Structure 1
Amino acid sequence: MCSKMFFILMMAAVGFVLLAFTGRSEAAETELREPQLAGSIEAVVNNRVIQFPSLHTDIRINIQGDMANVEVVQKFANPTTIPMNATYLFPLNKDAAVHAMTMEVGNEIVRATIHEKREAKEQFEKAKAEGKSAALLVQHRPNMFTQNLANLMPGLPITVRMEYVQPVLKVDGEYELVAPLVVGPRYQPAEHMGPPPSMVDVTGVAQEEVGAGGSAESSAGQWQLDTLPAYPEVAGIDPIPDTIDFDRVSIRVTLDGGMPISTFYSPTHTLYVDTPSDERCTAQLATGSTIDNRDFILRYGLDGQHVQAGLLTYKQGEDGMFSLLLEAPKTPAIEEIASRELVFVLDTSGSMNGLPMQASKAFMRSALQTLRPNDYFRIVRFSNSASQFANQPLRADSGNLNRARNFVDTLAASGGTEVRTGINCALDTPQAPNTLRIVVFLTDGYIGNEAEVLRLLQRRLGRARLYAFGVGTSVNRYLLSEMTHIGRGFVRVLDPTENFAKVAADLAAKLDSPVLTDIHVDWGGLQVADVTPPVVPDLFAGQSVRIQGRYANPGPRDITVSGLVNGRKATLTVNGEFPKEDTGPERAAIPLIWARSLIRDNMRLYNTPAGLASDNVYQGTYKDRVIELGLKYSLMTRWTSFVAVTEKRYNTQGTAVDKNVPLPMVKGVKSTAYPNAPGGGIAPEPATTLGMLLLGALGGLGVLRRKFWGRRRRNG
């Protein structure tokens, strides 16, 4: 106790803000946790108790074959005695088609309605001013959202339920479903910081998005992405305070395979699995719940007769839709492959410090061993600036590879994530003659200027291929997916706990294995429209691609898929029945996933610079299409939002304080990656003075808590 007092007095003497975790009586603790909520944090700042909203999330995943229906239940509580307006920054799967939301307050259950973002925000602000409780869901990126709550009252929790559907595609021969649990920090280059904090409201929408200070249409042909929301003030505390409880998230999964299930496991979390039959199993977290500091990943395999194509159809009224799933042909690898120039681009910014940097180095050591003697290679590292191992492509001989391994061993993580410098450095150097250039990009993707990076790749990548390895436990999958879409490659997430040699060997095998290219579909007389993707990407062994669209003339059709495997023609015939009568509700996910994919295609076209566009369609047309799809199918988009408002007025005081829901640090990411964190945060996202003080003082206080009270065992 004396040491504790001495520590506090010393902190006061040097002018730091004192923070201490207030003790609670057992009765008070029980009262707070009665609605089974967790994640609250409170601190003392200038002798004033500061408390933040508490949160518990239930995720329920129901998978049928390779389609997933997901329900996310967020339960918020106000541990203070005054009304709050709460904001929660959270991720969803980048392919999630969010199609429904409800809000429960007291005895009221309100079904949210979809509106254009501006109108939804106006309804939310009106409800807030009237003292009504309200929820507004805003999309900032396809994988980044904020849940905004108006008038979260003391002792009256708010429960928000969201529903989304998504396809489950194959990765390395197994189906992989990802449920992101936490948004990592985002680095924003200084010259592209966006509007100051005063221009970003509680919903995280820049004022220009709602009509003030200009219009997004004034920059047609340029990448247009929402201003990133302010990162929560108390994120980035290491160690995580005990008051951010470790039972913040529960996950339950049900899989109906439709055929025997061969594998079912999570590489990220320990599961308790119940298998009532060969074709069905259920699972939940072995610990019951977990902290939301890393993505949840589920992998499974299905036995039965192996097919390389599968067709699903949907019919409701005049809407007839199909979903065709393709897998790559299994043919022997071709030994005689042209020389390649592999350009390894390594993110060495501060957010890669710790496990991610160690994983990148281990992967590189293994990857260098897989190069063939007739290959060329280069290594580029970037943070605030970029440099490289050699200023020209080198032969993959033993001497050059040894020197390259020594170079990799010296790399250290620090500074900002200036991805553009890495791309320019990788592509400025002339390519080795008579080679295929392959760019292998290793990064966590923690940036806010995704648009500029994608635009740069579109302009500079040319015929080079790009393969992205997301390094970390909660990477920016949206950015990596879009990078590989431009680079006609694939994404692989490299968890720091994986076997790096195996991952590198898998990469080498994919580069050596046949790729189905120039894919074309002959629909056999079927009248199709709005097919997505408009150009079928190359298909790699162990992976799959889904082709979706609308059809007009029902009946049996023979569909022929053709392509090239290392110059040899390959064909596949699918016998399909396209129904005339309405299908049942069990296929209701098909139009939602189709509409979500079409929205993604239109956003890519909207964001394509005029000089690179393949047509002359006005960018505003793509925006109109996205809004139309979002409103028709009740889907979240950049320009559509869900809003729910209660009938009853709950806040009769007329005022409420604005608070963010605190987030834990991403597992394996150091505090230097977070805004204003001790040691110099590298992510210059807006943060309040209170947040900065909390980060500095709580980080030091964590050391004291470990010493005197011990540290709770962490799991997963």
Structure 2
Amino acid sequence: MLNRPKMISQIAIWGVLLVTMFIATFSPKALAAGLLKPVNSQHKDLQIESHHVDVAIQDGYATTSIEQTFYNPNDVELEALYSFPVPQKAVVGEFIYWINGSPVIAEAVSKEKARKIYDDQKAQGNATALTEKDEFKTFDMRVYPVQPQQSVKVKLVYMQDALLDHGIGRYVYPLEEGGVDEAKNSFWTRNDKVEQDFSFNVTLRSSYPVDGVRLPAHPSAVISQEADGEHTSWKANITNHIANTVQEGESQQAVQASMRLDQDVVFYWRLQDGLPGRVDMVSYRDPQASKRGTVKLTFTPGDDLTRVTQGRDWVFVLDKSGSMSGKYSTLVEGVRQGLGKLPSEDRFRVVMFDSNTYDLTGGFVAANSANVNKALQSVEQVEPSNGTNLYEGISAAIRKLDDDRPTGIVLVTDGVANVGVTEKRRFFELMEKHDVRLFTFIMGNSANTPLLVPMTKLSNGVATSVSSADDIIGHLMNITSKLTYQAYRNIQLNIDGVKIKDLTPEQISSLYRGEQLTVFGHYFKGGEADIKLTMDIGGESREYRTKVMLPDSATEHPELERMWAFSAIGDLQEQMDYLEQKDSDKEQAIEDIALEYGLLTDYTSLLVVEEDVFQQLGMERKNQTRVLKEQSAREIRQNKPVKPTRADNTQPMFTQPAPTHSGGGSSGGSMNILVLLSMILFGVSRVMVGRKQNR
């Protein structure tokens, strides 16, 4: 293993983030969520008659409810197939199909069994519906039958952690399809138009003061505040109701565009500056139903990390394969400014890859104007095309590192590895052999996160997903702060007193400035728990301690049971991904957990059949019971003032305020290097082949 310091390149990261800003601003729309129809079908497109989304963000997690109606304009009955990108770490357990006007709640069933039952019911002409997960790419919802000139109604609900980064929260409702599944996209056409009613409503309720909210890609969203007990709740609404009042022409076209499911919705909120480092806790325990309770602990460390100021070598590894073509757009003017101001003490290198690799700079070069211009000229000879040899692209970046200079490797890709080495294990071994940090920018929805995230984690780097609807300047500030400060390493959590067991995630390797740490666990009685968090900072071990009181009874958050289960499944899946081999015991464990907690996973689906068919099949309505309990709890929470969740008031765990961007910043010179990367990355959309890497 190379003995290289694990240091971070501030300049490199600034460069990548400006690139993502330009991508978000100028990229054309990708494929979208919508109803699918075979390319050669003779039928008219099924229609999305209405699409209503309600998001509630409270107590550290977001609950998203999607209610839709599909209409069949044909004179024969058809099956509806609706597909949309998998939301990041979405805990899906509630799927409802209205049969004869009555809502029927799905049950979790093993994937193959669920598909067989669905096909059997469809063949018999019975009403049925199925939601499946297509790997890391999409959720696919099938509904049968949609009668001629009639509509069907469905609803899907999922939960996600709503973590903060430097006091800023980010929620994404994914709609843009990433274009990574060529076979699927060539077989299906997609109808993403909402014919009648569209609405997106988000409600943010926080016991901490909120300075403001933003929807950067939707400036027409209506934002409001209202009193919420001792606090203030925020609401944002996007709707197409204006379509009924506008005239023909350009205004009508603009409204029509807003009615398509072709753009992610990104909602940001920012907490007030100066809030303390802290521990927050929400729990669920119903002693009348079970002795086992579930707790979620969220740690927000204080601002006690030291800034890193050294210069670096940096390597940008840029994916120019065909799957990336919809994610780039040309940007020529404006990015040439400042190229002559690059810091002369730094060096840069640019590696691009498709089926092959191309070292555009011929190794590391000084950041002077001559080298910058030469790099730009080389870029003008390449364009996105061909397959994706991701492994060789990363290998090429690692191959020519200088052991005497700290280096950051910046990867911009969607992770579609389809040429050369594609086994996950080989990527992981590559990262383990080299002591460098990988900073990965995951472009678009449906990207290969099962490969990119663990690979980045192994290098103690940072993986960041980027949507075209993002406020990329916010991404820029967050990541720059992370990567120009020391990080917490070798994190250990110990709990005495009242025990918290089955902790998940099982391993926590690193925590960067501004990040929160969330842990789920089980407890079996109320009482005081002593918590010790041990973390290394720059080779020095530090301890943080507090006490929290676990309630004997707490019934407001039954969703925590599913969220614990989802995190536990993630641990098992990560172990299999790392080894990249089938493990029947782990697969069975995942399926068992998913069936117990009613979860949509790679191994289980959510199935709706008529109530009498559930009985005929001998299927216990466990998920229905769980869903009704969660629905009731959501309604109770909605009608009560928000409660404080801070658990370490008596003995604060951290002495410093939580970090924000108010006291941070970056040197002016660092902005210039990202102009180079912007030019390199966006020149890709114009040109054809460059120099192949010298091996």
> TM-score higher than 0.5 here?
yes
Q: Quick one: which of 600, 604, 608 aligns to 1:640?
A: 604
SS of residue paired to 2:388: coil
Q: Which residue of 1 is the match for residue 233 of structure 2?
A: 280
Q: Does residue 300 of the first structure (1) align with residue 269 of the second (2)?
A: yes
The 3 A distance-change label for structure 1 pair 568 and 247 is farther
Question: In 2, Cα distance between the equivalents of 1:562 and 1:514?
Answer: 16
Question: In 2, Cα distance between the equivalents of 1:509 and 1:571?
Answer: 23
Q: Which residue of 2 is the match for residue 568 of structure 1?
A: 540
Question: In 2, Cα distance between the equivalents of 1:505 and 1:374?
Answer: 24
SS of residue paired to 1:591: helix
Q: Which residue of 1 is the match for residue 188 of structure 2?
A: 233
CA contact (8 A) 2:178 2:444 kept: no
Q: Which residue of 2 is the match for residue 629 of structure 1?
A: 593
Q: Which residue of 2 is the match for residue 53 of structure 1?
A: 46
Q: Which residue of 1 is the match for residue 391 of structure 2?
A: 420
Deviation at 1:230?
A: 6.1
Q: Does residue 147 of the first structure (1) align with residue 141 of the second (2)?
A: yes
Amino acid at match of 1:323: K
- Return 324-333 or 554-563, whichever deviates more: 324-333
1:617-657 residue CA offsets vs partner (Å, 9 max, x unmatched) = x81111111111101110111111111113699xxxxxxxx
Deviation at 1:244?
A: 3.7
CA contact (8 A) 2:327 2:443 kept: no
Q: Which residue of 2 is the match for residue 128 of structure 1?
A: 122
The 3 A distance-change label for structure 1 pair 131 and 107 is same
The 3 A distance-change label for structure 1 pair 329 and 397 is farther
Deviation at 1:256?
A: 0.9
Q: What is the RMSD computed on CA atoms of the aligned residues?
A: 3.7
The 3 A distance-change label for structure 1 pair 411 and 42 is closer
Amino acid at match of 1:572: Y
Deviation at 1:319?
A: 1.7
Structure 2 stretches lacking a partner, 5+ long: 1-32, 242-257, 614-695
Q: Does residue 84 of the first structure (1) align with residue 54 of the second (2)?
A: no
Superposed, 1:459-608 pairs within 5 Å as 459-462=429-432, 463-472=435-444, 480-495=452-467, 507-552=479-524, 554-579=526-551, 581-584=552-555, 586-608=556-578
CA contact (8 A) 2:488 2:537 kept: yes
Q: Does residue 184 of the first structure (1) align with residue 178 of the second (2)?
A: yes
Amino acid at match of 1:443: T
SS of residue paired to 1:627: helix
The 3 A distance-change label for structure 1 pair 272 and 610 is closer
Q: Quick one: which of 269, 293, 307 aligns to 1:320?
A: 293
1:688-708 residue CA offsets vs partner (Å, 9 max, x unmatched) = xxxxxxxxxxxxxxxxxxxxx
Q: Which residue of 1 is the match for residue 403 of structure 2?
A: 433
Q: Does residue 268 of the first structure (1) align with residue 217 of the second (2)?
A: yes
Give the total of aligned pairs: 554
Structure 1 stretches lacking a partner, 5+ long: 1-37, 189-227, 612-617, 650-716
Deviation at 1:524?
A: 2.9
Question: In 1, Cα distance between the equivalents of 2:338 and 2:187?
Answer: 37
1:277-332 residue CA offsets vs partner (Å, 9 max, x unmatched) = 35202211154563111221111122374334323333232222222212344136
CA contact (8 A) 1:518 1:564 kept: yes
Question: In 2, Cα distance between the equivalents of 1:443 and 1:367?
Answer: 26
Question: In 2, Cα distance between the equivalents of 1:369 and 1:593?
Answer: 51
The 3 A distance-change label for structure 1 pair 423 and 123 is same
1:152-173 residue CA offsets vs partner (Å, 9 max, x unmatched) = 2113322111111111122454
SS of residue paired to 2:295: strand
1:391-447 residue CA offsets vs partner (Å, 9 max, x unmatched) = 5444556654554455456543233334333223223x1421134443211124466
Instruction: Provide the TM-score with structure 2 as the length reference.
Output: 0.71
SS of residue paired to 2:73: coil
Deviation at 1:130?
A: 0.9
The 3 A distance-change label for structure 1 pair 179 and 131 is same
The 3 A distance-change label for structure 1 pair 636 and 647 is closer
Amino acid at match of 2:486: P
Question: In 2, Cα distance between the equivalents of 1:279 and 1:528?
Answer: 33
Question: In 1, Cα distance between the equivalents of 2:36 and 2:598?
Answer: 35
Deviation at 1:98?
A: 0.6
The 3 A distance-change label for structure 1 pair 264 and 283 is same
Q: Which residue of 2 is the match for residue 169 of structure 1?
A: 163
Q: Does residue 442 of the first structure (1) align with residue 442 of the second (2)?
A: no
Deviation at 1:351?
A: 4.0
Question: In 1, Cα distance between the equivalents of 2:326 and 2:136?
Answer: 28
CA contact (8 A) 1:174 1:542 kept: no
Q: Which residue of 2 is the match for residue 344 of structure 1?
A: 316
Q: Quick one: which of 458, 464, 472 aligns to 2:428?
A: 458
Deviation at 1:275?
A: 0.8
State the identity as a percent: 23
Deviation at 1:557?
A: 1.9
Q: Which residue of 2 is the match for residue 256 of structure 1?
A: 205
Amino acid at match of 1:640: T
1:233-252 residue CA offsets vs partner (Å, 9 max, x unmatched) = 224xxxx9xx9457685311
1:146-196 residue CA offsets vs partner (Å, 9 max, x unmatched) = 1112322113322111111111122454111111113222256xxxxxxxx
CA contact (8 A) 2:136 2:446 kept: no
Amino acid at match of 1:57: H
1:97-153 residue CA offsets vs partner (Å, 9 max, x unmatched) = 111111113323222111111221121111111101210111112452111123221
The 3 A distance-change label for structure 1 pair 459 and 588 is same
1:566-607 residue CA offsets vs partner (Å, 9 max, x unmatched) = 23333322321122x2311x2222222111111111111123
1:511-546 residue CA offsets vs partner (Å, 9 max, x unmatched) = 221211121112134534322221113111222221
Question: In 2, Cα distance between the equivalents of 1:408 and 1:497?
Answer: 27
SS of residue paired to 2:426: helix
The 3 A distance-change label for structure 1 pair 488 and 394 is same
Question: In 2, Cα distance between the equivalents of 1:44 and 1:539?
Answer: 47
CA contact (8 A) 1:366 1:501 kept: no
Question: In 2, Cα distance between the equivalents of 1:280 and 1:608?
Answer: 42
Deviation at 1:476?
A: 5.9
The 3 A distance-change label for structure 1 pair 550 and 575 is same
Deviation at 1:356?
A: 2.2
Deviation at 1:61?
A: 0.5
Question: In 1, Cα distance between the equivalents of 2:279 and 2:345?
Answer: 36
CA contact (8 A) 2:37 2:188 kept: no
Question: In 2, Cα distance between the equivalents of 1:83 and 1:231?
Answer: 24
Q: Does residue 331 of the first structure (1) align with residue 295 of the second (2)?
A: no
CA contact (8 A) 1:127 1:150 kept: no
CA contact (8 A) 1:295 1:473 kept: no
Amino acid at match of 1:300: W
